[in-house]
Structure 1
Amino acid sequence: MLTFDLATTPFSRRGTWLSLSQPHYAGSGYPAEGQGIYLRSNCGRPNLRRELVKIEILRHDRVIEQIKTVAQPDGVTIRPRRGQGCVELTLCAPGTLLVSAKGALTVRLRRRAQAGEVAHPLGSGLQVINCRQSLMRLAIECLQGEQHLHADWAPDTCHGDMMVTLKPDQKGHLEAALDSWQSTHHRGPRPSMAAARKALAKEFEAFRAALPRHRQASACELADYVLFSCTVPPRGLLKREAVLMSRNWMDSVWSWDNCFNAMALAPGHPKLAFDQLMLEADLQDADGAYPDAANDSFIHYNFSKPPVQGITYRWIQRIAPKFWTRSRTAAFYESVSRFTNWWLKHRRWPGSPLCHYLHGNDSGWDNSSVFDIGAPLEGADLAAFLCEQMRALADMAKRLGKTGEAARWIKQADSMQRQLCRLLWDGRRFRSRLAVNQQPVDSQSLIPAMAIVLGKALDPTIATAVIEDLRSFVTPWGIATEHPESERYESDGYWRGPIWAPSTFLIVYGLLNQGEELLAKRIARGFCKACEKSGFAENFDALTGAGLRDRAYTWTASVYRTLLLK
């Protein structure tokens, strides 16, 4: 069975907001309880504390510092590096953690009390830790062995650490369960550890079996696990199952990340894939804008994300022809039409035929060097995405019998493409420009080359020049987001050099549409090689393939799967 590093890839499962991990934070960012294994909640980003309790293993009342942790899709096993015994942990959906220990080991659950947090008995042998700063409570029940609560009570907030100690019985065995809850405790399932792990393994295998199989079994299994483990049930603002971007700290849904996850899921999990697309439609505002990001309790519209829904529609048409039923097409068309019209109406400088970004975050390339001189910024990438989007909308409209609307979308797309080439092509390459004064941007970012998504619709002379330019961005690990010889290139510079999943996919998509299969395959293989070397990181060092930032990111897993499929 697959094993993975709990320090980079949290343990979780489809159907819960809980996870287990050994979070790594820079500098003084660690919780007061220090480094270690934590039960975490992925609710409420960015306002709530994720860590619920630290899980400590003891023998003879002393914490065992040297442990070996084995994380697998069905659970986590912790063993002392010296001596006998083990502790097993697994999750039952929707919110129960099971604990089992052998070899006379003690398990201690510890949380440093913060404002409003207390611990107390609940009756029926339950002990409760009220994790106010995480908007969650834990009810701990010892099923075999004994438990002890230690909390220095105060009327409003306990002092210091709140601890529940779970000790083994005389045979050295321990069984316990933790239920997460808010207002009212409902006792969760209590299967044996063996039965729970077997059921979870079976559920994960069923999830995998529905997806296309690939030869790269171990890497694909980890990709599938990242997707499976980041799938949370409806809660709060999210009315559908949602695939979070990560269980580490990017535990929300951004309004273009979801498209790449939908593309990977469409062949095997069509309902889950469609839910990813419609999550943003559920949260679309009155003007047609999608939120920049959302989770169960937090949403904001301060930024947007690029319009790649049309590309998503076209790609899914290729790989899952039966996906776009009439009802799905109608719902998607209505939402994407409103979003596209929002760009056309509310993101144009007076007198300009092109749309603009107001911040790097709007482009998805947060700190790209094209934004070094400011905004609003008109970019070839945005214009090309909108052209593709409007042509995809025309296709949807035709399928729905809306021939007049289809003709209007085509007319608008053709007009925007003419203006793109007239205003942003300098004879050698595309350049972004400031909307205020039409000042061209001097940058060696890859982002203007995103216009290649237009494929054969692009003038052959322009396409040839764009392709030759982007060749110089290619490394053994894929395609860099800033030219490696640029003075602004940074090995860990976020969008100023590292290789990313979405930019890789979009370039490959455009090259395939151009018939440039050899270059597309070269870039795709490099990216897949980086994933196989370094896991499904948020991004990769363009020159070494090392994983950077969040190390278990769903769109990376999704693009890996998508590129393997094609």
Structure 2
Amino acid sequence: MTDFLEDARRVLAANDRGGYTVPTDRLYPFQWNWDSAFVAMGFATYDVPRAYRELERLIEGQWADGMIPHIVFHAPSDTYFPGADVWRTSHDIPTSGITQPPVFGMALKKVHDAAINSGLEDARGRSLVLYEAALRWHRWWYAARDPNATGLVALLHPWESGSDNSPAWDIALARVPTTTETIVMRKDIGHVHAAMRPRDVDYHRFIHLVDVYATCEWNPARQWSAAPFKVAEAQTTSILLKSGEALLDLAHQFGRTSDAKELEAFNRRSRRALLAQWRPHLRRFVSRDLISGTDIDAPTQACFCPLLALDLQPAIREAAIEEMELWSEGLTVLFPSTQPNYPGFEAKRYWRGPVWAIVNWLLIDGLRRNGAIEMAEKLRHSAVEAIERNGFAEYFDPLTGEGCGGLGFSWTAASYIVLSNSGEWPTV
């Protein structure tokens, strides 16, 4: 009988590069921000010191202004584009110039709790260092990406969402020119079939944005003014709020009264703003295009991520769950990253339809928070079964269940470790 849990741990061991974990070999040969946060939570179930190390290696790349970049280039590799030379950032450790969803705070709370429960020596000391880094990043989000104090934080590049080429960006991204100063030399389609990856036109727009912000010398205020792509995003704000709740809990544990008051204010602001993004006629939450001033109502997984951080009124909760159930009808694997009957849906193309175990993980936590245990269990069972049938793939075709993208993928392995335990956090 296959020991899938042990296989998952072997995937993480194979992708270990000395205290940090690459998502998968060759396709993603560096340390990615939100990938590592999920991986740390997986490690926390059986190796707490290694979980701490994952987060500690990530903050080696933290900028002086508090931003934690989406890629830390600890060691050189020629199997990925764009590399450090394209980003043109100026830090002791080469990094990208943009960020990613702030799962870090959520991960730190899980790691800290596991450390305390296991009696690990110096748990408080190690957690405090990471807490300070997380708080600086939290402050950066609200200062750099919500300068008007709306409560919704903005993305200036689709890659910052983690959902790189989601249909949610189609209209906003179409306004970005395809001209680039940088020669676009894609490496991804040498590792994965092009039908599973973003299109060339998208890549040119992605790199155009990198060029624009590099010209701004990565100064947040200059970037905000120059940005041709600016989206106040529901998924990222939800994750920020959930991490804000985790940091607030830690602030109380560490006796940081002034930090707690600051975090409470941030959390109130984002909670109020997210609730205002509910659209009853759509039965989902929406993001906002800050350049056009219009809603982004493309039906993607982001529309349900506010469940992660909000305690919803019964009418809203039931409507959202009914919509999720409608999207799930007839699928082999749940939960799709785009509504299956939407024109932009593509079952195998990156973030335009496939199922991601980490998305299920977030949605499961949100559904449980809101008392939707049956739907949460459907998503948990579906993700676990897909992995056991088709391996630790980057993502899965919701129609066929086929594993797609990179293989031997770290955050899929971490997801399995957590979700296979009936979704309950294991006791360390």
Would you call these one fold, judging by a TM-score over 0.5? yes
Cα distance in 2 for residues equivalent to 1:418 and 1:461: 17
2:67 to 289, 292, 307: 289
Judged with a 3 Å threshold, the aligned counterparts in structure 2 of structure 1 residues 411 and 459 are, in CA distance, closer, same or farther, namely farther
Matched, 1:452 2:230: no
State the match for 2:103 in structure 1: 308
RMSD: 2.0
Judged with a 3 Å threshold, the aligned counterparts in structure 2 of structure 1 residues 516 and 318 are, in CA distance, closer, same or farther, namely farther
Q: Contact conserved, 2:40 with 2:55, CA < 8 A, in 1?
A: yes
State the match for 2:413 in structure 1: 557
Q: Could you tell me how far 1:404 is from its partner in structure 2?
A: 2.4
Matched, 1:436 2:294: no
Cα distance in 2 for residues equivalent to 1:335 and 1:312: 13
AA aligned opposite 2:125:
S
Partner SS for 1:433? strand
State the match for 2:269 in structure 1: 415
User: How is 1:205-244 mapped onto 2 (pairs within 5 angstroms)?
Assistant: 217-233=2-18, 241-244=19-22
Matched, 1:366 2:164: yes
Matched, 1:396 2:250: yes
Cα distance in 2 for residues equivalent to 1:342 and 1:515: 33
Larger relative contact order (CA 8 Å, sep ≥ 6): 2
Q: Which moved more, 1:441-450 or 1:344-353?
A: 344-353
Cα distance in 1 for residues equivalent to 2:370 and 2:105: 17
Q: Could you tell me how far 1:315 is from its partner in structure 2?
A: 4.2
AA aligned opposite 2:284:
R
Cα distance in 1 for residues equivalent to 2:149 and 2:245: 24
Q: Could you tell me how far 1:508 is from its partner in structure 2?
A: 0.9
Cα distance in 2 for residues equivalent to 1:243 and 1:451: 28
Cα distance in 2 for residues equivalent to 1:351 and 1:308: 21
Judged with a 3 Å threshold, the aligned counterparts in structure 2 of structure 1 residues 425 and 280 are, in CA distance, closer, same or farther, namely same
Task: Determine which structure has the larger helix proportion and give its number.
Answer: 2
State the match for 1:182 in structure 2: none
AA aligned opposite 1:480:
P
State the match for 1:123 in structure 2: none
Cα distance in 2 for residues equivalent to 1:381 and 1:421: 13
State the match for 1:481 in structure 2: 337
Q: Give the unaligned 5+ runs of structure 2.
A: 77-83, 85-93, 173-228
Matched, 1:519 2:375: yes
Cα distance in 2 for residues equivalent to 1:320 and 1:465: 39
Judged with a 3 Å threshold, the aligned counterparts in structure 2 of structure 1 residues 473 and 253 are, in CA distance, closer, same or farther, namely farther
Cα distance in 2 for residues equivalent to 1:321 and 1:504: 27
The higher radius of gyration belongs to 1
Q: Could you tell me how far 1:293 is from its partner in structure 2?
A: 0.9
State the match for 1:539 in structure 2: 395
Task: Determine which structure has the larger strand proportion and give its number.
Answer: 1
Give percent identity, aligned residues only: 28
Q: Could you tell me how far 1:410 is from its partner in structure 2?
A: 1.3
Q: Could you tell me how far 1:322 is from its partner in structure 2?
A: 2.2
Cα distance in 2 for residues equivalent to 1:434 and 1:511: 27
Q: Contact conserved, 2:41 with 2:51, CA < 8 A, in 1?
A: yes
Q: Could you tell me how far 1:370 is from its partner in structure 2?
A: 0.9
AA aligned opposite 1:302:
G
Matched, 1:257 2:32: no
AA aligned opposite 1:311:
M
Cα distance in 1 for residues equivalent to 2:11 and 2:149: 46
AA aligned opposite 2:278:
W
Judged with a 3 Å threshold, the aligned counterparts in structure 2 of structure 1 residues 352 and 398 are, in CA distance, closer, same or farther, namely closer
AA aligned opposite 1:259:
A
Matched, 1:530 2:386: yes
State the match for 2:140 in structure 1: 342
Q: Give the unaligned 5+ runs of structure 1.
A: 1-215, 234-240
Q: Contact conserved, 2:109 with 2:247, CA < 8 A, in 1?
A: no
AA aligned opposite 1:426:
R
- Count the aligned residue pairs: 342
Q: Contact conserved, 2:386 with 2:401, CA < 8 A, in 1?
A: yes
AA aligned opposite 2:334:
G
Q: Deviations over 1:393-431 (max 9, x none)?
A: 111111111122212211220122112222x22233211
State the match for 1:183 in structure 2: none
Q: Contact conserved, 1:498 with 1:540, CA < 8 A, in 2?
A: yes
**Structure 1 length as normaliser, TM-score?**
0.58
Q: Deviations over 1:313-343 (max 9, x none)?
A: 3444676652683113211210000111111
Cα distance in 1 for residues equivalent to 2:28 and 2:359: 19
Q: Which moved more, 1:498-507 or 1:293-302?
A: 293-302
AA aligned opposite 2:286:
R
Partner SS for 1:338? helix
Q: Contact conserved, 1:357 with 1:377, CA < 8 A, in 2?
A: yes
Cα distance in 2 for residues equivalent to 1:543 and 1:504: 16
Partner SS for 1:275? helix
Q: Deviations over 1:265-291 (max 9, x none)?
A: 112111111111122211100111112
1:328 to 110, 114, 126: 126
Q: Contact conserved, 2:108 with 2:127, CA < 8 A, in 1?
A: no
Cα distance in 2 for residues equivalent to 1:311 and 1:296: 27
AA aligned opposite 1:328:
R
Cα distance in 2 for residues equivalent to 1:318 and 1:336: 16
Cα distance in 1 for residues equivalent to 2:155 and 2:23: 23
Partner SS for 2:295? coil
State the match for 2:48 in structure 1: 270
Q: Deviations over 1:248-268 (max 9, x none)?
A: 422211100001111111121
